Chains A and B, each alone.
Chain A
Amino acid sequence: MEQTLLTTELDVTEAASVECASCAAGVRPLPEQRVFKPWVSSATTVGVLLLIWWAVTTAGLIQPVFLPSPQAVVGKAWTVSTTGFMDATLWQHLGASLGRMLVALLAAVVLAVPVGVAMGLSRRAHAILDPLIEFYRPIPPLAYLPLIVIWFGIGELSKVLLIYLAIFAPIAIATAAGVRHVDPARLRAAQALGATRWQSVLYVVLPNALPDILTGIRIGLGSGWSTLVAAELIAATRGLGFMVQSAAQFLVTDVVVLGIAVIAIIAFALELGLRWLQRRLTPWKSMAS
């Protein structure tokens, strides 16, 4: 009896010392104090989807012509990058698409920002331009594509123009809103320091609208990129949209899936890049009180 009591006591002290060692080693976070990492959940979603894709295709539940396996798509990515598809490598297709996007984006920023500023500053400019933008903005690009081909032909201009129109409206509208919503106290502060009208626009209104302009560019890039496939329907010989279209015509499903994957990855990268640029250029927007 005495012996058991002793051993139990010993166990307790031993357990206590172990407990203490873990205490000293570091504070264990309580379950609810653990930092939530959103990217872990997002990565899990993507991983599970890939796993299901791999399982159903490898098990032969779906024929490759309807859904090729992930390994087949990766293999195709290698072939298309090196030997090419429809007389151009994946990089040339990608380069053609990105080039069109870049030209359309530059043209849209150069024109839409001044138009948006004018619309934000002058109610007359807003009254003149707003119906034009609001008229074409909700029309799906495929609906006015034939008209653009009739007017501007099947060359590079029509493709860039289609993407440009998709980017222009969001930037112009967001810029106008940003300019209109300038903090009146900041404007008065500049005036009381002797600012002329143009100095107020340059030093207060424009920087104040920068977060909205960047948001407009983000939205514009999204809609521009989704117009790409439509734009490359017009007698293109290169481009991701063209690659997907022509692969579909020959039922080369792995190239279709590859093209969709590349389009998605580029869109995601553009979005992340612009968010980074927003944090970089307008830090006060996310951190100011």
Chain B
Amino acid sequence: MLKLIKLEYRKAQLKALIISSILAIPILIYWCVYNKSGHPDGYDHYENAFADIHYFVSTTFAIIAAVFISKIVLEEYRSKTISILFTYPHSRRRLMIAKLIFISTFVFVSTIVSSGVIGTVFVVENLHTIADSWTNSLLMEEVIRTLLFAMATVGICLVSYYIGMLRKSVPATIIPPFLITVVSSDFYYGGSLSEIVWISIGWVVLGIVLAYMSIRKIEKSDIQ
């Protein structure tokens, strides 16, 4: 499987795309830390600031993941290279899972790293301007939230994969994660920890179920 994942990376020439994705981090730092996520008065509580950081990070990387899906999966169908890929001595399902593992791992890691970096810069820059004190329990809670939001972003990315595969269309892949994160911005990213746990698990389960459905019959499907 690792070999198949490496081949995906090599074949789709993802180095440039990954580097440009990493450039999203300084832009998010500027927006979330120095521009206070569009709140000119700043924040009274760390929770509010982190809710915004998680929202912008998740939205950004869910959209970047959709771009990856377009590049790694839909492009293969568009350019018909999928008909070459499926003549190789590997199960089609395995080949598609390799693609999804690559995309999911990238999204999970990049969401965590981005949230960590942006959160750290925010705390350092605002240590004396926010009324709340920065405590270890607050740190632990934010670490847990970061992990949960990263999981949820993977789930959202798999949902957009499913929708994109239905239509084999780039817009159909990119628009859903944007709409999902925008619609759920208030109640999800600013919710309580227990709410976030359940919703995040829900996204992951839904994403895995839909991804499975999209590749369930792939072995026998005709490739035109």
Same complex origin of A and B: no
Binding site for A on B (CB under 8 A): none
